[in-house]
Amino acid sequence: MATLYRKQHGSGMVEVVEDGEHRTLSFDSHLVQSRLSLADPLALVLNYTRCMMAGLLFGEAKGRDTPLRVLMIGLGGGSMAKFLLRHFPACHLDVVEQDPAIPPLAREYFHLPDSDRMTLFLEDGASFLERRAACAYDLILVDAYDREGMSRSVYAMRFFAGLEERLTLRGVVAVNFVRGDANLFRRCTEFLLERFAGRVLSLPVPGTSNEIGFAGPGVEAWEDRQEIDARAWELEDWLGLDFVMFVREMRLMELPSGPWRWLGLR
C-alpha cells in the first residue's frame, strides 16, 4: 500500500492511498470517500455510487442527447461527476463541496476533469439551495459526508425542505443514507417522507449499511412496471450497470399495501 497524500485538514487527516488496483480517498484512514480503478478511471467502483445511478430510471434521462441538469451535493473524488459527464454529453453539472481541500485532490489523484459543463461551488449544500432559488434540476444527488458521517448541515430538515422546490416537473432526488447512525437516519428519512408525501423508494446497497432513497415527481413512473422494466434493460445495455437488479431490489422493499416504501421505518 503506497501513500500518495497524507495531510491534516481541520480536525482530521485526509489520505490518498494506492494498492496497485485502486486509489482511495479517505478521512482518518478508515472513512472511505471515493475509490478509483487504476485500470478504468471512469468506472464507478463503490457499490453505493452505482446504486445512486438508479435515479436515471426516472425523470427525463431518455437518451445520450438528453439535456440533463444535475446537482451534486458532495464531490468526493468525483466518480459520479465523471460518469455523468462521460455518458451524457449534453448534461450540465452543478457540484457543491464544502471542504476546499477536496476538489484539488479530486483533480490531481482521481482524474476529475476541468469541463465547461461542470460548475463547482465551495459552500454548504443547504446554503446553496437557499441561494439558488430560481434553478431547477432533473436529478439531484445528495452524498455529503464528513469525518462524523452524514453531514449534519445537509442531512437536516432545513435542507430537505428545499429539495422539492429545486426539481423539474419530472425531477428526482437520490439521497445516500447510512444506517449506522440510527437516530440521524430515522430523522432524515422521516424528513424525506414528509416533504414528498410518503412517496419514497428505497434501494439497499449490497454489502454495506448504505441505503439510497429516491423521491420527487419523476418517481411516479414507478407505477408503470412495463415502462420501468424496459428502461432498466435499456440503461443496463447502455451504461453497463445492474439496473435490472436495482429494479428487482426496490420492488422487494415495497410495502404490501402499495408501491411506496416507508424508507427507514421498518
With 0-12 CB in 10 A as exposed, 13-18 as middle and 19+ as buried, what is 263?
buried
User: pLDDT, tens digit, for every residue of 52-78?
Assistant: 999 999 876 566 667 689 999 999 999
Is 90 inside a domain boundary? yes
* Counted domains in the chain: 1
pLDDT at 44 (0 to 100): 97
For residue 237 the three cell numbers come to 445495455
Q: What is the pLDDT of residue 264?
A: 43
Instruction: Return the exposure string of 54-75: e unless at least 16 CB atoms fall within 10 Å of the residue's CB, then b.
Output: bbbbbbbbeeeeeebbbbbbbb
| C-beta separation of 41 from 111 below 8 A | yes
Please indicate, yes or no, if residue 21 is contained in any of the structural domains. no
Give the type of residue at 33: Q
Summarised one tens digit per residue, pLDDT across range 180-190 is 778 888 888 88
Q: Is residue 29 part of a domain?
A: no
**Residue 37 in domain:** no
- Locate the DSSP E strands across 10-136: 12-18, 22-27, 31-37, 69-73, 92-96, 118-121
Query: What is the span of the domain harbouring residue 105?
Result: 46-252
What span, in angstroms and rounded, lies between the C-alpha atoms of 13 and 198? 39
Mean residue pLDDT across the chain: 87
Categorize the per-residue pLDDT at 86 as very low, low, confident or very high, splitting at 50, 70 and 90: very high
Q: What is the mean pLDDT of residues 234-243?
A: 94
CATH number, position 199:
3.40.50.150
CA atoms within 13 A on the CB side of 11: 3
Let me know if residue 157 belongs to a domain. Answer: yes
Sheet with strand 12-18: strands edge to edge? 2-9, 12-18, 22-27, 31-37
Residue 41 belongs to some domain of the structure: no
pTM over 0.95: no
| Grid coordinates of 137 | 434540476
Residue-wise pLDDT tens digits, 16-31: 999 999 999 998 767 7
| Structural domain contains residue 8 | no
- Residue 34 belongs to a domain: no
